[in-house]
Amino acid sequence: MPVPFNDMTRKYLRYADEIDSVAKRVLSSGRYTLGSENDSLEAELASYYNATAVATVGSGTDALFLTLIALGVGVGDEVITVANTCTPTIAAIRLTGANPVFVDVDSERLTMNPEDIERCVTEKTKVILPVHLYGTPANMEKIIVVAKKHGLLVIEDCAQSFGATIAGRHVGLWGDVGCVSFYPTKNLGGFGDGGAVFSDNQALVEKVRQLRMYGEIHRYESITEGTNSRMDELQAGFVRWGLLHIDEWNKTRSDIAQTYIKSIHNALVQLPVDLDTESHRAWHLFVVRVSDRTAFTRHLEENCIGYAIHYPKLVYDQPAYEFLRVDSEHLPVSTSSVGTVVSLPLYPELTEEEVYKVIEAVNSYGK
């Protein structure tokens, strides 16, 4: 039997009774957007993060976009970020009219390299936006030092890192604000789209709440120009239910990752590196690096192992963002790593037998 890279039906089938009862509760409530499920989810997320306030929104992209707008980022401003991220990080910045400025990533974590930030700071820079890619915390201790030195805001893209911590504190609370996604494949995924903004800055979260609902302070009274980015009640209900399981799911992800690390022995395959003891990954993805990706993925296919590439190109190498391209010599690690990354199956419903099939296939590569 093939090992699928991911299979969302397994989660539903495993918990069908619980999920169906959430759906029934919400559908029979008569309230389908921004109601009591969203209110409760905001309170429960705030308590989980130990954050002052949370605003739910329509997606992780909107969490970033509305946060940037709420912080006053607009046309001509510069936002320092990374090029090896998922497209929506860059889409959210561009939708405000601001320009992303790319710094390199560190060769071990593949997250923002704090040493490269100052090279890119100009008088137009407003924000530093690190991405906790694959669930790996970026080096926030150093990033916030640079941000403070230059008076810059820090927005953390936590779409892939629900549950990741540094020194016991959740990522997203190291900077000014954290943005998460509840896209189905995420660690805390719903069964549709959703996102949230969390922060100790209550006023900022209030502003996002206005922006997500036509800029209204109360019904039919817009005090700012907003949009519609309401999270629906069904998704809020599903994510509330997921919050009851998230620690157990993240633990299973971590156990599978540790089994891969202990059991994969192949000099042609580079495993994710150990972090300092203070940082804990959320293990959203298990990403290995290989020099001949075509040969490696062919081998996985021959052994019926699903895989994915996160991501095949740096964002500025995609047609829509070519105008942002920078000279590759400025981003040596981003440029050299992008052709080497391969994500192996990693989700809580993976069976032990499947985990060992993946290990066997990876170990036999090149032999």
Q: Which residues bind ligand PLP (CB under 6 A)?
A: 59-61, 85-86, 88-89, 131, 157, 159-160, 181, 183, 193, 195
Residue whose CB is less far from ligand PLP, 201 or 235? 235
Residue whose CB is less far from ligand PLP, 85 or 96? 85
CB of 62 to ligand PLP, least distance (A): 7
Residue whose CB is less far from ligand PLP, 55 or 86? 86
Q: Which residue is nearest to ligand PLP (CB)?
A: 60
Residue whose CB is less far from ligand PLP, 231 or 264? 231
CB of 68 to ligand PLP, least distance (A): 12
CB of 150 to ligand PLP, least distance (A): 24
- Contacts of residue 20, defined as CB under 8 A and 6 or more positions apart, other chains included, come to none
Number of Cβ within 10 Å of residue 364's Cβ equals 12
Residue whose CB is less far from ligand PLP, 53 or 82? 82
Residue whose CB is less far from ligand PLP, 181 or 337? 181
CB of 121 to ligand PLP, least distance (A): 23
Distance CA 296, CA 292 (A): 6
Residue 4 half-sphere exposure toward CB, CA atoms < 13 A? 9
CB of 127 to ligand PLP, least distance (A): 15
Residue whose CB is less far from ligand PLP, 86 or 173? 86
CB of 131 to ligand PLP, least distance (A): 5
CB of 337 to ligand PLP, least distance (A): 16
SS (H, E, C) the chain: CCECCCCHHHHHHHCHHHHHHHHHHHHCCCCCECCHHHHHHHHHHHHHHCCCEEEEECCHHHHHHHHHHHCCCCCCCEEEEECCCCHHHHHHHHHCCCEEEEECECCCCCCECHHHCHHHCCCCEEEECCECHHHCCCCHHHHHHHHHHHCCEEEEECCCCCCCEECCEECCCCCCEEEEECCCCCCCCCCCCCEEEEECCHHHHHHHHHHCECCEEECCEECCCCCECCCEHHHHHHHHHHHHHHHHHHHHHHHHHHHHHHHCCCCCCECCCCCCCCEECCCCCEEEECCCHHHHHHHHHHCCECCECCCCCCHHHCHHHHHHCCCHHHCHHHHHHCCCEEEECCCCCCCHHHHHHHHHHHHCCCC
CB of 208 to ligand PLP, least distance (A): 15
CB of 89 to ligand PLP, least distance (A): 5
CB of 310 to ligand PLP, least distance (A): 8
To 10 degrees, the CA torsion angle through 37, 232, 133, 306?
A: 110
Tokens of 188: 């805390």
- Specify whether the CB–CB gap between 160 and 282 falls below 8 A: yes
Residue whose CB is less far from ligand PLP, 22 or 158? 158
Distance CA 260, CA 350 (A): 13
